[in-house]
Amino acid sequence: MAYLLNRLLLLCTLSTLVCSVVSKTDSVFVKEENTRLVINTSRIVATVDDHFLCATLDWFQPTQCDYGLCNGSLTGVLNLDLENPLFQKTLAGLAPLLVRIGGTLQDLVVYDVGDQLPSEPCLPFVFNESALFSYSGGCLHMDRWDALNKLFVKLGVSVAFGLNALYGRSKSTAQYEVLTPWNPKNAENFIRYTRDRSYPVIAWELGNELLGATTSIGKTVPPELYAADFKKLRNIIDKLYKGDASKPFAVAPDKVEYVIGETDIPRFLHASRKSADVITRHIYNLGSGRNTTDELISKVLDPSVAEAEVAKYKSLQTLLEEHGTTSAWIGEAGGAFGGGHHEVTDAFISAFWYLDQLGTASRYNNQAFCRQSFVGGFYGLVEADFNPNPDYYGALLWRQLMGRGVFDVDVQSGTSDVRAYAHCQRSNKGGLTLLILNYSNLTSHNLDVSLLGRSADPSPRNFTGKNTFSEASASDERLEYHMSAANGSVTGRIVLLNGKPLLVTPSGEIPTLSPVKVKSTNPISLAPLTYAYVVIPDAYAPACATV
């Protein structure tokens, strides 16, 4: 019955019609439920890199449209206004941020350095509906590359650069499978240019969504040929960065979808023989951006969709362990493919997909999670005018509060409404930060958080009103950041922090994200369809001393 009522209220909330049942049942149907979270603070289950938080700058073109919706505007690598103050402030706010430069059109881009093949001139992108990826040309001039890196250095941004894996190969749309080898000449010249200037590239990636006979976009490269190509990149990196303590990662294959039991990635791993430092995959588990708003929100809130992705994280983690020490990244994730979906991936509701994925990726030891995109399409962390979307603020809180050490959280509840993640508090060795999401629009959850401490003191440490404790190790206060939709509109772009709207100031500054201080004797209460970061500064989590 609760599930049916939940769906009824959700549909009423989303519909353009006025559902009288909502106003009449807020007090009737919305209930309170007690939920217990148990965390063993003596054991870290994963450790993530400082560059875990990542966002993509794509090669979007002003003429680029998806399903008739055109939101590329001036948001691509080649046409971004790098001097825009708000662009710089939003990017800097997430530092140390990893920016992945890549996307569909990366496999057309020629680098204007050294000699080019006669068949691969460095020409501007031109829309051509009959061409591969609907564009011909594609050129990155070194003055633009210099300008980008000047900005990245200034803002403390690191870069993972996606290289053109189709250089020297046919761009004909008549042949889907690629059978000829990659020509690495242009890439090597570009990498050398970048190395000589000490630009902050920490990873070189080969190709975008080219591995997978049935899932690749535009072209497909067989796993064994892909591995042979990748070894060339590995050799270039090893040669050019020989003796360099900060040698960039060699990364592949940015597969469009990982399927449990598939053979593409295992074949690539076997043939590449540990050449890859990082294996990347993409996540668009909400499906097509062409789906309706209601359909997409239903998927965002469906626990089975999230759990299906958890199974993929576990499967790939096991696969990589079998093949050595290769790390996993989520190289691109936008929720809904094809540019996202207005009022979903650029709205408050998106947090229940995005932040949950950040939590899951870190829990299963992925070392980076690259949001598609930082700007561009309907899935940007910021709009085309660089004003933050709701997920930007969720990411900003992640950056400020979530440290490298990851704990397992046991959610002891009779429902699947609550999903929770715990990390060591950023910049505080003894603290702990919780991210908690309430997926129900019917139920408010009162959270009983029990911290299992040192082995000498195995008793639970409880941070709610039920069992306060007087030890000196107990915190008198915790910090809470409750995020909710303005006017209850989950499809809106205004997010409230502790009841106050987050808006760029008239002088163009990102608002300060301030918590409320709550006595540890009070329960943590999470309202329907809201999420919260909760910081326990004096949790004295012993495992955090090592990360």
Active site residues per annotation = 209, 332
Torsions phi, psi for 194 (to 5 deg): -65, -45
Contacts with 68 (C-beta within 8 Å, 6 or more apart), sequence order: none
**Contact, 88 vs 150, CB < 8 A?**
no
Structure tokens at 369: 């999670």
**Contact, 511 vs 467, CB < 8 A?**
no
Q: Which residues pair with 531 in a beta bridge?
A: 437, 483
Pick from 14, 29, 38, 7: which is nearest to 464 by CA?
38
Pick from 483, 437, 494: which is nearest to 301 by CA?
437
Structure tokens at 175: 């042949």
**Contact, 67 vs 339, CB < 8 A?**
yes
DSSP 301: T
- Integer-rounded Cα Rg, in Å, for the chain is 24
DSSP 213-281: TTT-SS-B--HHHHHHHHHHHHHHHHHHTTT-TTPPEEEEEEES---TT-SHHHHHHHHHTT--SEEEE
Q: Which residues pair with 157 in a beta bridge?
A: 97
Handedness of CA 71, 348, 259, 103 (dihedral sign): positive
| Count of alpha carbons within 13 angstroms of residue 457, beta-carbon side | 12
What is the Cα–Cα distance from 268 to 207, expressed in whole angstroms?
14
Q: Three-state SS for 41?
A: coil
Q: What is the end-to-end Cα distance of the chain in Å, rounded? A: 45
**Contact, 359 vs 435, CB < 8 A?**
yes
